[in-house]
Amino acid sequence: MARTGLVIGAGDGLGSALGRAFAREGLTMCLTRRARHQDAVEALAAAIRAEGGAAHGFGVDAREEEAVVDLFARIERDMGPLDLVIFNIGANVRYPVTETSTRVYRKVWEMAAFAGFLAGREAARVMGPRGRGTILFTGATASLRGGAGFSAFAGAKHALRALAQSLAREMGPLGVHVAHVVIDGLIDGPFAADLVPDLEARRAAGGVLAPEAIAQAYVSLYKQPASAWTHELDLRPHAEKW
């Protein structure tokens, strides 16, 4: 049976690794980023096709309800029934709470929480009646505890985790696997290179997560038998402080 997957937030790090990993598993992968990054996501899709996989890129604002509804309808109509949906938008920002504007807080919530709701709802609408499918949400350390300077990010990630819990309880009995992955540490890639001056030293010390290794954990979740589903998975490099 042909299988179709969707990664919402297919950036240059983990999102790219997820698209490649699931394409290697035989899924036709649909990959999204915002319209301003459409060239990059289409280049990723082309690279996956060059490697022998099947992939399509879309420029979509995941915060826009109509755009998300249309995306799911187009994929179901033109690419096939969705068997996998991954919500992978990060929206990590750091500001002291006294310098966090309402615009920043609202935008982070829209990107990391509200967009996750739209993706989860649309996935549930198509998977529930079929009685199968997997919905995976990318979380962070901030999903479990708020850190100084991360009030907006932690609030949004806490909300996303709560959504995943509610969705799992609602959709599990229908045969749809919902899981939340806590990424507790720095993910290697272009974002990390811009953010962390000593990235090479942290890599050498074992303090950075490899996107490809994380992607394999997502594949394992996708393949789990229904008699032993994981809802929350915690991933960190071996040298990360707990």
Tell me which residue of 131, 136, 228, 123 sits closest to 174, measured CA to CA: 131
CATH superfamily of 4-235: NAD(P)-binding Rossmann-like Domain (3.40.50.720)
Tokens encoding 170: 């609602």
Residue 166: its H or E element: helix 151-171
pLDDT digits (tens, 9 = 90+) for 29-81: 999 988 777 889 999 999 999 999 999 999 999 999 999 999 999 999 999 99
Flag whether pLDDT at 114 surpasses 90: yes
Confidence of residue 193 (pLDDT cuts 50, 70, 90): low
- What residue segments make up the domains of the chain, in order of their start? 4-235
Looking at per-residue pLDDT, the higher value among 99 and 198 belongs to: 99
Confidence of residue 240 (pLDDT cuts 50, 70, 90): confident
d(CA 140, CA 200) in angstroms, rounded, equals 22
| Most confident region among 87-101, 127-141, 145-159 by mean pLDDT | 127-141
Looking at per-residue pLDDT, the higher value among 90 and 162 belongs to: 162
Tell me which residue of 111, 86, 67 sits closest to 29, measured CA to CA: 86
The type of residue at 139 is: G
pLDDT digits (tens, 9 = 90+) for 75-98: 999 999 999 999 999 887 788 888
Confidence of residue 202 (pLDDT cuts 50, 70, 90): confident
Beta-carbon contacts of 31 under 8 Å, excluding residues fewer than 6 positions away, are: 6, 7, 10, 15, 19, 41, 44, 45, 55, 56, 57, 58
Tokens encoding 9: 């937030």
Tell me which residue of 98, 80, 96, 101 sits closest to 29, measured CA to CA: 80
**Owner of token pair 């030293």:** 201
Query: What average pLDDT does range 136-161 have in this prediction?
Result: 92
d(CA 12, CA 7) in angstroms, rounded, equals 12
β 177-183/4-8 pair status: unpaired
Residue 193: its H or E element: helix 190-195
d(CA 46, CA 181) in angstroms, rounded, equals 27
Flag whether pLDDT at 119 surpasses 90: yes
- Cβ neighbours of 78 (radius 10 Å): 10
For residue 239, the model assigns a pLDDT of 82
| Predicted structure pTM score | 0.94
Asked if 219 and 21 touch (Cβ cutoff 8 Å), the reply is: yes
Tell me which residue of 49, 11, 7 sits closest to 219, measured CA to CA: 7
